[in-house]
Amino acid sequence: MQIAIIGYGNMGSGIAKRAVVVGYSVVLAGRDLAAAKKAAERVGALAATPAEAVAGAELVVLATPYAAAANALVAAGDLNNRVLIDISNPLKPDFSGLTIGQTTSAGEEIAKLARGARVVKAFNTVFAPIFSEGPDLKGGTVPVFYAGDDAAAKESVRQFAERLGFATIDAGGLVNARMLEPLGMLNITLGYALGGGTSTAPTWLRRA
Ligand SMILES: NC(=O)c1ccc[n+]([C@@H]2O[C@H](COP(=O)([O-])OP(=O)(O)OC[C@H]3O[C@@H](n4cnc5c(N)ncnc54)[C@H](OP(=O)(O)O)[C@@H]3O)[C@@H](O)[C@H]2O)c1
């Protein structure tokens, strides 16, 4: 199965590295092909233009800042029927909060932009270093909360996340990105502003 990842920064490279290790064929893409090639070499992936990467992929991960999503999606070309994973937290530039929320979410706005794509919100509560350090922390396996409106797309994302070694929690429809993004913000606040570090993640406990 081929995974296209648009954005080769902390998250794009981290997801790529882990996906390659567990046997996926990964193509990294971004706005600078030479930089994508360098990042791809570091993690054992291939590099291509966004449109080329998307054309051959079953799963597409959008790993750019939310503010860059519109431009990145234009460069990605035809996303019709593709499973598109939105991992973003729509952060203010000073990380003090989110730029949108409550009445919409980055996930829903990205779904409007990515015409025909089957958008699933996922991984936004997972810090980038977890991908290289591994998802098994004291107290359990880091969960990936995933939300979307297409059952088959959600199932693909669940399988992808679990193959990467994560636990998964079905968070319902894409509208629930409105709650997952503030949860991502809380994670960032605990990890950075309040000094908890990035080897942490939110989870959901149940008695049985
Ligand atoms: N870091 C985390 O721990 C974490 C955790 C959960 C979710 N997230 C989310 O994951 C996303 C990526 O975060 P990150 O930490 O990986 O950011 P990052 O390290 O700054 O990387 C961002 C990537 O996006 C690329 N990019 C920017 N504008 C672009 C455009 N118009 N077209 C294509 N690519 C473009 C950048 O390429 P250039 O080098 O060309 O600028 C870079 O490769 C964000 O939405 C963030 O909210 C991050």
From ligand 1's centre to the CA of 179, what distance in Å? 21
Residue 139: what pLDDT? 86
Sort strands 2-6 and 25-29 into parallel, antiparallel or unpaired.
Answer: parallel
Confidence band of 33 (pLDDT split at 50, 70, 90): very high
Question: Percent of the chain beyond pLDDT 90?
Answer: 98
Per DSSP, the three-state class of 55 is helix
Amino acid of residue 9: G
Say how many Å lie between the first and final Cα of the chain, rounded.
34
Segment (H or E) for 121: strand 118-122
Indicate the burial class of 106 (C-beta count within 10 angstroms; 0-12, 13-18, 19 or more): buried
Residue 143: what pLDDT? 98
Ligand 1 atom, smallest distance to 128 CA: 3
Sequence-distant (≥ 6) Cβ neighbours of residue 154 within 8 angstroms:
120, 146, 147, 148, 170
Residue 191: what pLDDT? 97
From ligand 1's centre to the CA of 63, what distance in Å? 5
pTM > 0.95: yes or no: yes
From ligand 1's centre to the CA of 205, what distance in Å? 30
Helices (H), 1-93: 10-21, 33-43, 50-55, 69-76
From ligand 1's centre to the CA of 136, what distance in Å? 24
From residue 199, give the alpha-carbon distance in Å to each of 20, 138, 141, 204.
21, 10, 12, 17
Average of per-residue pLDDT across 173-195: 97
Segment (H or E) for 26: strand 25-29
**Residue with token string 């952060």:** 91
From ligand 1's centre to the CA of 192, what distance in Å? 18
Task: Indicate if the pLDDT at residue 133 is higher than 90.
Answer: yes
User: Residues 74-127: pLDDT tens digits?
Assistant: 999 999 999 999 999 999 999 999 999 999 999 999 999 999 999 999 999 999
Residue 208: what pLDDT? 86
Confidence band of 5 (pLDDT split at 50, 70, 90): very high
By residue count, the chain amounts to 208
Q: Which residues line ligand 1 (CB under 6 A)?
A: 6-12, 30-32, 35, 63-66, 68, 71-72, 75, 87-89, 91, 124, 126-128, 184
User: Residues 46-81: pLDDT tens digits?
Assistant: 999 999 999 989 999 999 999 999 999 999 999 999
Task: Indicate if the pLDDT at residue 1 is higher than 90.
Answer: no
Per DSSP, the three-state class of 35 is helix
Ligand 1 atom, smallest distance to 198 CA: 3
> Which of 6, 11, 84 to probe ligand 1 with, by most ligand atoms within 8 A of CB?
11
Return the ∠ at Cα 116 (arms to 122 and 185), rounded to 5°.
Answer: 25
